[in-house]
Amino acid sequence: MEFMEIPLASRRQKIGLLGGSFDPAHEAHVHISKYALKYFDLDQVWWLLTPSNPLKRNDPSPVGERLRVANLLVEHPKIFVTKIENELNTIYTSQTLKLIQIRCPNVRFVWLMGADNMIQFDKWMNWKEIVYRVPIGILARPDHTLAPLKSKLAKTFSSYRLRANQSRDLGNLKAPYWCYKNLPLLNVSSSQIRAS
């Protein structure tokens, strides 16, 4: 199957962007994507498989192999595996978001991430630019349910936090709104799979 650079999106659609190495993609990625569709009232979720991760010591497996595995795993009609970052030649989320918004000016994007990433989000390149660019939907992950709420992101932008029962409004709001949502936990990680 051919991987899409940028999937088709209609004007005013709400698209969740889930970035990461996906090395390898697994059921927990699908799990949080399905809940993101529901909790944040999204029309689609796009997986952005990064060519490399600046915050990790080791480079991930070749992007073609990770795309192949991810595409075999995803069978949901509203979840799309993409090679957007590879095509745009970006590895930093701030760069990727800027270019995607230029290409899709009438789409409402929501950045999605697991709560484990929220803890170290202030280490990301131009992290405040990301927060001011798109609203952020954060999904609780195993062992990361309370610590993220003490993170720099949570403290700095506390006045823009939506209550969990307002999560479906997130895609209609402008940045820097964010929402932290608990979900039924599926305790699987790429590092566990690589180690087995």
Chunked into runs of 10 residues, the chain (196 residues) has average pLDDT values of 65 94 92 96 96 77 91 95 90 94 94 91 96 96 74 97 97 97 69 44
Residue 195 confidence (pLDDT): 45
User: Distance between CA 188 and CA 152 in Å, rounded?
Assistant: 26
Residue 188 confidence (pLDDT): 55
Q: State the burial class of residue 43 (Cβ atoms within 10 Å of its Cβ: 0-12, 13-18, 19+).
A: middle
Residue 142 confidence (pLDDT): 62
Catalogue the long-range contacts made by 128-131 (C-beta closer than 8 Å, 24 or more residues apart).
128/156, 129/94, 130/93, 130/94, 130/97, 131/157, 131/175, 131/176, 131/178
Tokens read off for 58:
């080791």
Element holding 63 (H helix, E strand)? helix 63-73
Single pTM value for the model: 0.89
Element holding 182 (H helix, E strand)? none
Q: Is 120 helix (H, G, I), strand (E, B) or coil?
A: coil
Tokens read off for 145:
């349910």
What b/e string do you get for 137-146 counting C-beta neighbours within 10 Å, with b at 16 or more?
A: bbbbbeebee
- Does domain 14-195 correspond to CATH entry 3.40.50.620? yes
Map out the domains of the chain as residue ranges: 14-195
